[in-house]
C-alpha cells in the first residue's frame, strides 16, 4: 500500500503518520526528516539544503526525488510506505509516478488533511512550546516568520497537487480539525478499504 499525506505545515501529518506506521506496518518516509538528517551529517546534499530549508523554501525537485527513489528500494518498503512531505510540487508527483511505474507499482491513495489556516499558527505555537517543554531543540524553520513562508510555498507549489491527484481519482479528503483520534479513525476507514 503506497499512501501520500498532503496538507499544509501543522496539519498533523507527522502525528497521524505515527499512527499509520503502527497500524499498517509500513514505514513513514518523511523527506523533511531525511533532509534534516543530511544537514546534521553535513553531507553534500545537506550542505546545499540547509539555507534553503532555513528560509522555508523548497529543495530542488531532482534532489528530493533522488533521495526518495533510493529510499524506496530498501527492503522495508516492499509492503508499501507512507510518504510524508513528498511530493510537494507537480513535477515531483510526475517524477514519483515515473519511478513507481518503472517498478510496476503505483500510488494507492492520497490523503489530504484539510485544516483552517487560522488554526495553523496556534498549532505551531503549541508545537514550539511542547518541544521546549520536552527539553528538545526547536526546528530552525519552526518560527512564525519562516512558517508564513512555508504556508505560502504550500499554497503556491503544493496545493496544485490536489487537482493533480483528483484527476487520477486518488484524492481522499479528511477533516483535520477533528480530534487526533477522530482524524485517525477517518484515515483508518480509507486505508482499511484499500487493504481489503
Q: Which of residues 56-95 bind ligand AMP (CB under 6 A)?
A: 56-59, 64, 85-86, 88, 92
Strand 81-84 and strand 109-114: the pairing is unpaired
- CB-wise, 55 or 194, nearer to ligand AMP? 55
Contact pick of 45, 53, 96, 120 for ligand AMP (by CB under 6 A): 53
Task: Assess whether 88 carries a catalytic annotation.
Answer: yes
Instruction: Report how far residue 175's alpha carbon sits from residue 177's, in angstroms, rounded to the nearest whole number.
Output: 6
Does the annotation count 150 as an active-site position?
Answer: yes
Nearest approach, Cβ of 84 to ligand AMP (angstroms)? 7
d(CA 21, CA 12): 14
Instruction: Provide the minimum distance between the beta carbon of 192 and ligand AMP in the complex, in angstroms, as a whole number.
Output: 26
Burial of 149 by CB count in 10 Å (0-12 exposed, 13-18 middle, 19+ buried)? middle
Report DSSP state, residue 141. T
- Rule CB under 6 A: choose which of 9, 12, 27, 176 binds ligand AMP: 9
- Answer whether 161's CB lies under 8 Å from 87's CB: yes
Residue nearest ligand AMP, Cβ-based: 32
Q: Report d(CA 19, CA 159) in Å as an integer.
A: 24
140 binds ligand AMP (CB under 6 A): no
- Annotated catalytic, 103? no
% helix, strand, coil for the chain, step of 5: 60, 10, 30
**What residues line the site for ligand AMP (CB under 6 A)?**
9, 31-32, 35, 52-53, 56-59, 64, 85-86, 88, 92, 141, 150
Residues assigned a catalytic role: 13, 88, 127, 139, 150
Amino acid at each position: 500500500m503506497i499512501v501520500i499525506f498532503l496538507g499544509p505545515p501543522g496539519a498533523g501529518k507527522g502525528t497521524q503518520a505515527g499512527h499509520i506506521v503502527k497500524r499498517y506496518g509500513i514505514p513513514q518516509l518523511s523527506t523533511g526528516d531525511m533532509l534534516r538528517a543530511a544537514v546534521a551529517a553535513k553531507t553534500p546534499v545537506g550542505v546545499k539544503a540547509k539555507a534553503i530549508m532555513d528560509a522555508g523554501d523548497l529543495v530542488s525537485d531532482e534532489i528530493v526525488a533522488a533521495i526518495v527513489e533510493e529510499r524506496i528500494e530498501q527492503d522495508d518498503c516492499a509492503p508499501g510506505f507512507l510518504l510524508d512531505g513528498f511530493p510537494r510540487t507537480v513535477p515531483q508527483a510526475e517524477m514519483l509516478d515515473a519511478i513507481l511505474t518503472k517498478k510496476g507499482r503505483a500510488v494507492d491513495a492520497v490523503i489530504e488533511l484539510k485544516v483552517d489556516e487560522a488554526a495553523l499558527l496556534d498549532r505551531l505555537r503549541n508545537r514550539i512550546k511542547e518541544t521546549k517543554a520536552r527539553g528538545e531543540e526547536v526546528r530552525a524553520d519552526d518560527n512564525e516568520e519562516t512558517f508564513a513562508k512555508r504556508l505560502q510555498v504550500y499554497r503556491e507549489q503544493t496545493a496544485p497537487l490536489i487537482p493533480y491527484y483528483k484527476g487520477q481519482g486518488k484524492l481522499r479528503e479528511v477533516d483535520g480539525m477533528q480530534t487526533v483520534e477522530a482524524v485517525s479513525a477517518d484515515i483508518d476507514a480509507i486505508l482499511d478499504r484499500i487493504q481489503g
